Chains A and B, each alone.
Chain A
Amino acid sequence: MQTIIALAPLVSHRLCLAPPPFPRHRLLCRRAPSIRLPSHRSSTTSFRLLSSFAASRDSEMATEDGQDPRIPKIASSIRVIPDFPKPGIMFHDITTLLLDTEAFKDTIDLFVERYKGKGISVVAGVEARGFIFGPPIALAIGAKFVPMRKPKKLPGKVISEEYSLEYGTDKIEMHVGAVEPGERAIIIDDLIATGGTLSAAVRLLERVGVKIVECACVIELPECKGREKLGETPLFILISSA
């Protein structure tokens, strides 16, 4: 099994050269498989993600060459399942990361080290996988945790923000009064693809006067251009997957 190590942003464009293997309309994003990916695609058994390193636009990973030494183990613990939830999608499954106690701890530590002491009072997590990473980060940095949920899950008064899906729209909701104007927030999800959900979360928080310091995800699918959708809002990721 190969591990691809790339120093983002220099190399990331090289991972997008192969044409998509499936008809365009069947893809959530026009995702080209890495040209160095061995053909595990037909199997549904557990296999490893080939990873590249990622950093935010500012390339703020810990070590001099841009790679934190904990990243390869985290990347290799993530499983890619082909054709889920529908044909053509390569689903990045973080549940295998959660089974590796060291990798899970390292994942949280990487975020905590970045955000501790930065005056962040709110960690917002997008349902449901953002609920797995957000609370440990919030607890470690002394921030409150705010769940951002699908419609009708939160009791009491909520505000909502609509966002586009491939076909149709969906909504994300937050409790009224959970956050206050002037608070500094980060938004957590396991993965950013098109950025639809995350940008809706950003809009929702900004509407109530919160400053979004950064969005943070374990995985980015760069071909889906979520980073562009976030516009001015910074994005920090651990792993970029082509």
Chain B
Amino acid sequence: MSGNKEEVDPRINGIKTKIRVVPDFPKKGIMFQDITTVLLDPKAFKDTIDLFVERYRDKNISVVAGIEARGFLFGPPIALAIGAKFVPLRKPKKLPGETIFEEYELEYGNDRLEMHVGAVEAGDRALVVDDLIATGGTLCAAINLLERVGAEVVECACVIELPELKVCCREI
């Protein structure tokens, strides 16, 4: 989509200029890519969603999984527009009832991503959405969770990539 230099969608630049970079957040040395400023611009936010919807609407996607919390901002509008169910993937102990989890590595230590048992069925075609991909740790955990219950992860979709950080998981 936007990776192809000859065919950058004209809406992309408008979105890009709305993203705010906040230095030294959450800690020194990190240049935090803040998408909340995109959400303040109705046109930029709409264009962002439209770009994803145009890509996925005819791909028979039955599940949009969004990673807490910023994946919740983009996932549901996409899900609604393409007629897919929305499945939140959450930090531990937030989802009530029966859940399954996948562990992933942080810089120091581990964290977990949880999903409801029964939310996704074998054979579901899934899209995973988050605002940004850095190391890919969280996204990989999401893929693993979905594949463990028999879903096919068609693609991961993010607004922003930080390409200098290696994606830890295979290419999809």
The CA-CA distance from A208 to B150 in the complex, in Å, is 49
Candidates A85, A91, A98, A139; contact of B88 at CB < 8 Å: A98
Across the interface, which residues of A come within 8 angstroms of B22, CB to CB? 155-156
Stretch at the interface among B1-9, B91-99, B136-144: B91-99
In the complex, the answer to whether B119 meets A156 with C-beta atoms within 8 Å is no
Candidates B69, B74, B83, B116; contact of A127 at CB < 8 Å: B69
Q: Mark B40-73, 1 if CB is under 8 A from A, else 0.
A: 1110011001000000000000000000111011
Candidates A81, A99, A135, A155; contact of B25 at CB < 8 Å: A155
In the complex, the answer to whether A139 meets B42 with C-beta atoms within 8 Å is yes
Q: Mark A140-166, 1 if CB is under 8 A from B, else 0.
A: 001111110100111110000000000
In the complex, the answer to whether B45 meets A138 with C-beta atoms within 8 Å is yes
Report how many residues on chain A are interfacial, defined by Cβ distance under 8 Å: 40
The CA-CA distance from A108 to B77 in the complex, in Å, is 10
Q: Which residue of B lies closest to A80 (CB)?
A: B96
Tell me whether A136 and B80 are in contact in the complex, defined as CB-CB below 8 angstroms, given that A144-B41, A156-B20, A156-B25 are known contacts: yes
In the complex, the answer to whether B76 meets A144 with C-beta atoms within 8 Å is no
Report how many residues on chain B are interfacial, defined by Cβ distance under 8 Å: 40
Across the interface, which residues of A come within 8 angstroms of B83, CB to CB? 101
In the complex, the answer to whether A136 meets B76 with C-beta atoms within 8 Å is yes
Across the interface, which residues of B come within 8 angstroms of A46, CB to CB? 97, 118
Q: Mark B140-158, 1 if CB is under 8 A from A, else 0.
A: 0000000000000000000
Does A128 interact with chain B (Cβ within 8 Å)? Answer: yes
Across the interface, which residues of B come within 8 angstroms of A128, CB to CB? 68-69, 72, 88, 90, 94
Across the interface, which residues of B come within 8 angstroms of A175, CB to CB? 36
- Report whether over half of chain B's contact residues are helix, strand or loop; otherwise say mixed: mixed
Does B85 interact with chain A (Cβ within 8 Å)? Answer: yes
Q: Which residue of A lies closest to B33 (CB)?
A: A155
In the complex, the answer to whether B77 meets A136 with C-beta atoms within 8 Å is yes
In the complex, the answer to whether B87 meets A178 with C-beta atoms within 8 Å is no
Candidates A79, A98, A147, A153; contact of B76 at CB < 8 Å: A98
Across the interface, which residues of B come within 8 angstroms of A101, CB to CB? 79-80, 83-85
Closest CB in chain B relative to A39 CB, distance in Å: 18
Does A44 interact with chain B (Cβ within 8 Å)? Answer: yes
The CA-CA distance from A84 to B116 in the complex, in Å, is 14
Does B26 interact with chain A (Cβ within 8 Å)? Answer: yes
Tell me whether A144 and B42 are in contact in the complex, defined as CB-CB below 8 angstroms, given that A46-B97, A135-B73 are known contacts: yes
In chain A, positions 79-119 with a C-beta closer than 8 Å to chain B are: 79, 81, 84-85, 91, 93, 95, 98-101, 104-105, 108
In the complex, the answer to whether B69 meets A131 with C-beta atoms within 8 Å is yes
The CA-CA distance from A155 to B83 in the complex, in Å, is 33
Q: Which residue of A lies closest to B76 (CB)?
A: A132
Closest CB in chain B relative to A110 CB, distance in Å: 13
Across the interface, which residues of A come within 8 angstroms of B69, CB to CB? 127-128, 131, 149, 153
6 additional contacts, CB 8 Å, given A98-B76, A136-B76?
A79-B97, A95-B88, A99-B119, A128-B90, A135-B74, A139-B42
- Top 8 nearest A-B pairs (CB, nearest first) are A155-B22, A131-B72, A155-B25, A84-B96, A81-B96, A145-B39, A98-B86, A144-B40
Binding site for A on B (CB under 8 A): 20, 22, 25-26, 32, 34, 36, 39-42, 45-46, 49, 68-70, 72-74, 76-77, 79-80, 83-88, 90, 93-98, 116, 118-119
